[in-house]
Structure 1
Amino acid sequence: MWDSRIKRTILISVLSLFGLVLLIYEYGIIISRDNYAPGTWINGHYFGMKPVKSAEEELYENPADYVLEVKFRDADYQIHGHDIDLNYSFTEDLEKIKNGQVAYLWPESFFVPGYEIEKKITYNEAKLIDLVESFDSMRPENMKEPENPTIELGKDGIVVAVAQDPGSVIEDTDGVIAAIEKSVMNEEPRLDIEEEGFYKISEYTVDSAKVKKCVDYCNTIVGLDVIYQYADTEIALEPFQLYGVIKISDTYDTIISKQRVAEILEGFARLHDTYSSIRKFKNHNHDLVTVTNSDYGWEMDVEKETDSLYSDLIHHRGMRRPPEFIHSGFTYGKNGDDIGGTYAEVDLNAQMMYYYKNYRLVLNTEVVTGNVNLGRSTPPGIYDVDYHQSPATLKGEDYETKVTYWMPFNGGIGFHDATWRGGFGGDIYLYDGSHGCINMPYYMAEELFMEIEDGMPVIVY
Structure 2
Amino acid sequence: MSENKQQPKKRGKKEKKGNKFALGFVLVGIVVIVGAYTVKANTYRTKFFPNTVINGIDASEKTVEEVRQVMSDQIDNFESTIKSRDNNAEIIKGRDVGLAFVEDSSLEELLKEQNSMAWITNMNDKKDLKINSSFKVDPEKFETTVSKLRALDETKFIQPEDAKISEFVQGSGYSIIPEVEGNALDIDKAKEYIKSQLLVLNNDINLDFEDNDIYIRPAKRSDDPTLNLTLNNLNKYISARISYEKLNVLNGDTIHKWLTVNNDGSVSISDEGISSFVKTIASAYNTSGKSKTLKTSYGPTVTITGGTYGWKVDEEKEKATIRSLIEAGETTTREPEFSRKAASHGSNDYGNSYVELNLTAQHLFVIKNGTKVLESDFVSGNVSRNWTTPPGAFPLTYKTRNATLKGEGYSTPVSYWMPFNGGIGFHDAPWRSAFGGQIYRTSGSHGCINLPPAIAKQLYEYVDIGFPVLCYNLEAAPATPAPEETTAAGESTGAGTESTVEETVEPITVVGDDNKPTVEIGQ
TM-score (structure 1 length as normaliser): 0.49
Q: Which has the larger radius of gyration?
A: 2
TM-score (structure 2 length as normaliser): 0.43
